[in-house]
Amino acid sequence: MDVADLETRLLAEDDETTLVVGSWTYVGSGWTNPGDKALADAAAARAREYAQWKAQKGAGQRLGLRIPQQGGVPITPAA
C-alpha cells in the first residue's frame, strides 16, 4: 500500500459536498387514518387465525385426527 498516495488522495479537495442532517423528531404513535388501522387490524386477525389453524392442524396430526376443511380453510363452529 502506498501511504503517500493514500494521504494525497485523502487530503485533496473535492468539488462534491455531502450534507448530512441527523435530526429526528417524535411525531406520535398510532395510525394516520382509520383505513390504515382497519387494514392492520384485519391483517393481525388473519395472522392469528392462521397461527391457530396451524396449531390445530399440528395437534390433530399428532393425535391422528382429521380437521374438517373447506377450500383449505378449517371449518370452525360459530361463536
Q: How far is CA 76 from CA 35, 37, 43, 54, 58, in A?
A: 28, 26, 19, 13, 16
Predicted TM-score (pTM) above 0.85? no
Helices (H) and strands (E) in the chain, counts: 2, 2
At 54-67, the pLDDT tens digits run 888 876 666 666 66
The residues pairing with 73 across neighbouring beta strands, listed in sequence order, are: 70
At 1-29, the pLDDT tens digits run 788 888 888 787 767 777 778 888 888 88
The dihedral sign for the CA sequence 31, 34, 39, 41: positive
